[in-house]
Structure 1
């Protein structure tokens, strides 16, 4: 019970900070009052609040922090609203350790996969095209906090399984959730990953409404280890 209260309290603090920060962004990096473990619980709770858990992915506690940015002022931050015109280029990605609990997945030569999916295509009220696959890249490795500033990886340094497709919500479809997930091999292998390429972006090639990254990850023996998300909408609402 005490642990649940502590996590809830930290979540309130982070949300309060978000309201005071530009664009209502939730800051993922820890400070003196926020432990690394509670930061990971905040990510999990925000995923549940946005109904990404369980709509897009099964419930899980992240092991790492996933940072995805298009510029110093445009980055995914647990549900912030970004302008579509500022998301046209490929983002830079950083995956970094957040707690000692992830030690079993921290092999220096392990590589990770990052995906982006839209479960609200063409709209959240009518998700008949969901999920829509926006990218799959592999070859990402962990970065320590001290190296983070110089280790942000651009897409051109990664292997694209599905090339980057910028967010493009149709007019009058409201805000779309764009969900970013990092995956590790469930069996802990450090061998190079050879994953399947979805036959189509729509439904991730499953042909079934509401199906997507979860199906693909399970079929390829992957488990989620980090997550982030943002919202985007068409200017014509």
Structure 2
């Protein structure tokens, strides 16, 4: 599916589907093209939950700085752990949401949402705010999942985006 295997995950995205909806009324539909302007604000994400279960949600861009030259694979765009059920707002934010910011001329980038079922609560005090690049570049969803014993993702979704006029505004917001 769009080379997500092997670029991001080891197996085809799982049967479970994440419903990802942005405030402007657009939804992520397994590879549809959205603009950075449409996805600049944190989306609503829902999934079929198991009662009493904790989850981890990751969003990554494996195509940095471009799909042809992904030397910074992956960029972490969002990470929330210890989500009770599908109450994303009650989870612990490790990396605040940042929208798509592909460099001008770099073509389409894939933005991948991955949901993992946790076996236990993850103890982690890390927090990356939305103005910080540090801790986001050369992130690995695989290594994160392995470190925390998450196994393969149980649900996922993705969209593609390329440069638009919002990207310079986003890039100016970063402090480091």
Match of 1:172 among 70, 83, 105: 105
Q: How does 1:1-237 map to 2 (within 5 A)?
A: 49-60=1-12, 62-71=14-23, 73-96=25-48, 106=50, 108-142=51-85, 153=87, 156-185=89-118, 189=119, 191-195=120-124, 197=126, 200-204=135-139, 212-223=140-151, 224-235=153-164
Distance 1:71 1:81, change over 3 A: same
Provide the residue aligned with 1:24 in structure 2.
Answer: none
Structure 1, unaligned runs of 5 or more: 1-48, 98-105, 144-152, 205-211
- How many Å apart are 1:77 and its aligned residue? 0.8
- Rounded to whole Å, the distance in 2 between the matches of 1:161 and 1:219 is 15
Give the TM-score normalised by structure 1. Answer: 0.60
- How many Å apart are 1:142 and its aligned residue? 4.3
Provide the residue aligned with 1:103 in structure 2.
Answer: none
Distance 1:119 1:227, change over 3 A: same
Q: Is the 8 A contact 1:95 1:140 kept in 2?
A: no
Provide the residue aligned with 1:22 in structure 2.
Answer: none
Deviating above 4 A after TM superposition, structure 1's stretches of 4 or more consecutive aligned residues are 195-199
- Rounded to whole Å, the distance in 1 between the matches of 2:164 and 2:20 is 23
Structure 2, unaligned runs of 5 or more: 129-133, 166-176
Larger RCO of the pair (alpha carbons < 8 Å, separation 6+)? 2
Q: Is the 8 A contact 1:169 1:233 kept in 2?
A: yes
- How many Å apart are 1:141 and its aligned residue? 4.4
Give the TM-score normalised by structure 2. Answer: 0.80
State the secondary structure of the residue aligned to 2:110.
strand
State the secondary structure of the residue aligned to 1:217.
helix
Aligned residue pairs: how many?
158
RMSD: 2.3
- Rounded to whole Å, the distance in 2 between the matches of 1:63 and 1:96 is 11
